[in-house]
Structure 1
Amino acid sequence: MPLRKVNVVILILLAVAFLIIVQRNLLNLSDFLHKENPDAGQILPFEAELSKDGRQKMERKAEEIPVLITATEDRLGAAIAAMNSVSQNSKARVVFTIVTLNDTADHLKAWMSKTKLKNVKYRIVIFQPELLSGKISKDPKTLEATKPLTFARFYLPVYIPEVEKAIYLDDDVVVQGDIQELYETNLKPGHAAAFSDDCDSASAKGIVRGAGNQNNYLGFLDFKKEAIKKLGMRANTCSFNPGVIIANLTEWKNQNITQQLEYWMERNFQEDLYSNTLAESITTPPLLIVFYKRYSSIDPMWHVRHLGTTGAGNRYSPQFVRVAKLLHWNGHYKPWGRASAFSDVWDQWFIPDPTGKFHPVRRHAD
């Protein structure tokens, strides 16, 4: 074959190879863009039932950590202290989604905008209590336990739809470590969430027992009811505390966790499935059922609990409290209200209300 023809053939082959490479790159770019924005044009579950704020999306950077926290008017100072402790101790940028009610939104905005929290990245979402219609009792005896915002954690993927992983925090916590460490908690394949076991250490076990023996499923669910019997759960299974949750929101959505939780709320509304000795919030039993032996564990130092329980919090030494990564005042005694253990630690993170509406109350203050 003449040299000129060989050169032509080579050029043609090179051109074809070049076109193939360009095509593949374009296809890879298309796939990348699709992965970067998988929810584009998609209507999320319950979206129609949320406020417009709830549907807003924010531009997020890879190093940002999404945290959801609730804020009620009577406990607004708690949410402020929790967020301040997180932001002050975190190297990564935290993005807060604050779920609240209409009567609190303006107060919250004023508090955030007039203090150092104005530099924190956040958005405010209005919770719609109608979501709970037919799912919880309106019995005045259980009014404290059925405050609407306690159920916001059930709707994590709805309020933070644009991320794969997120953290939920109760408002009665302070974070003393870098929340990046908590965020990096390893979730096992197929697990939609990680919680703190109520039997995760000998000291915690003793404290829980002293607080009312609420460390197993028997303390939360009525195992005499047929609906509970059919689940085949062991009554002595260690329970967990949902005041701190690390959630894999992709798994949460794929497994329809929100719908499962709502189902058990409705069943309880109809059949009263919870234990008569239930001492904690009624948000816990549905979570215990749905996540039975299907969750990962949080490092115990990232959820030191029961500081708000009678006598229990005082069992911790000051040295232990100092090195704990996250402190939780679950129980009746809150550091901003009645006398509680280590309220001075909480005070370090509280930011006074510039509007003058919220003041911590110390029953035994001098």
Structure 2
Amino acid sequence: MKQLLDADSREYYFKGSEDLEIYPQLEKVVFLDDDVVVQKDLTSLFSLDLHGNVNGAVETCLEAFHRYYKYLNFSNTIISSKFDPQACGWAFGMNVFDLIGWRKANVTARYHFWQGQNADQTLWKMGILPAGLLTFCGLTEPLDLKWHVLGLGYDLNIDNRLIETAAVIHFNGNMKPWLKLAIGRYKPLWERYVNQSHPYLQDCVTS
């Protein structure tokens, strides 16, 4: 969901595929970002009742900076006339999507609409989440926090009990566990799953 900088990039990534449908027979998918560790079985996500919503996600509004006004330009009437600045944001990185509901709500078209509205970057600046917040507004089911604990790439003070019970832990932030600037107490949570003897890892610097 990246906001693409130039017209050529948008043309390449979007124009030719707007009407295509990937995996038309699937009913649900679980999305996992590339900086997460799955600690527990996620099977039950596929039978989770989303109560008619399309996106199942853990809400992040316990911290004020995760509300809509922090992501979007509410001085623009296109935003302020349609959205609540105090609306709760949600975590992108471990999500369950109801594809039947997605098709009914024409979510893909909604996403492309908001990307088009922000062609001049006046609704939001760069980032992966704002377009998603707009697209899935009114279509998001809050999930229990245990499904997705995030912040391991920037927050030094996450409760160990939250980490231990989480199904997915997310190293979102700049201090990725494979970098030298990783947060020390979280780094083993990633490294225990990494096969350091793998030839690909032998050819790159991961610490």
* TM-score between the two structures when normalised by the length of structure 2: 0.83
**What is residue 67 of structure 2 aligned with on the other side?**
216
Relative contact order, higher structure (CA 8 A, sep 6+): 2
Partners of 1:261 and 1:163 lie apart in 2 by 20
CA–CA distance in 1 between the matches of 2:22 and 2:206? Answer: 30
List aligned pairs for 1:252-271, cutoff 5 A: 252-271=102-121
- Equivalence for 2:203: 357
- Structure 1 residue 271 displacement after superposition: 4.8
Is 2:76–2:123's contact at 8 Å kept on the other side of the alignment? yes
Provide Cα deviations, 1:78-128, integer angstroms capped at 9, x if missing partner.
xxxxxxxxxxxxxxxxxxxxxxxxxxxxxxxxxxxxxxxxxxxxxxxxxxx
Among 15, 35, 39, which residue is 1:172 paired with? 35
Identity score, percent: 25
The change in CA–CA distance for 1:229 and 1:359 in structure 2 (over 3 A counts) is same
**Match for residue 330 of structure 1?**
172
Structure having the higher helix fraction is: 1
Aligned to 1:194: 56
Deviation of residue 220 (structure 1)? Answer: 0.6
1:185 positional shift: 2.5
1:339 maps to amino acid:
A
1:247 is paired with a residue of what secondary structure? Answer: strand
**CA separation of 1:198 and 1:360: change in aligned 2, threshold 3 A:** same
Q: Does residue 1:240 correspond to 2:126, yes or no? A: no
The C-alpha deviation readout for 1:214-270, integer Å capped at 9, x for no partner, is: x10001100001211231x11011111121110111111121111111111121113
- 1:251 maps to 2:101: yes
Change (3 A) 1:317 1:245: closer
Please tell me whether the aligned partners of residues 153 and 171 of structure 2 are also in contact (alpha carbons under 8 angstroms). yes
Change (3 A) 1:289 1:320: closer
1:227 paired with 2:73, answer: no
Give yes or no for contact 1:170–1:244 (8 Å, CA) kept in 2: yes
Identify the match of residue 124 of structure 2 among 271, 274, 280. 274
What stretches of structure 1 of length at least 5 have no aligned partner? 1-131, 139-145, 200-204, 276-280, 362-366
CA change 1:319–1:283 in 2 (3 A) is closer
Higher-Rg member (1/2)? 1
**Amino acid aligned to 2:77:** E
- Report the secondary structure of 1:168's partner residue: strand
Which residue does the alignment assign to 1:320?
A: 162
Counterparts in 2 of 1:292 and 1:171: CA distance versus 1, 3 Å = same
Residue type matched to 2:206 in 1? Answer: P
Contact (CA 8 Å) 2:146, 2:162: kept in 1 or not? no
Contact 1:308 / 1:332 at 8 angstroms: preserved in 2? yes
Q: How far apart are 1:292 and its partner, in Å?
A: 1.5
Tell me if the contact between 1:182 and 1:302 (Cα under 8 Å) persists in the aligned partners. no
Q: Which residue of 1 aligns with 2:47?
A: 184
* CA distance 1:317–1:228, shift in 2 (3 Å): closer
- Equivalent pair of 1:136/1:266 in contact (CA under 8 Å): no
- Match of 2:204, as an amino acid? F
Rounded to whole Å, the distance in 2 between the matches of 1:267 and 1:357 is 43
SS in 2 for 1:137: coil
1:93 aligned residue = none
The 1:160–1:184 alpha-carbon spacing in structure 2 relative to 1, beyond 3 Å, is same
In angstroms, what is the RMSD of aligned CA positions? Answer: 2.7
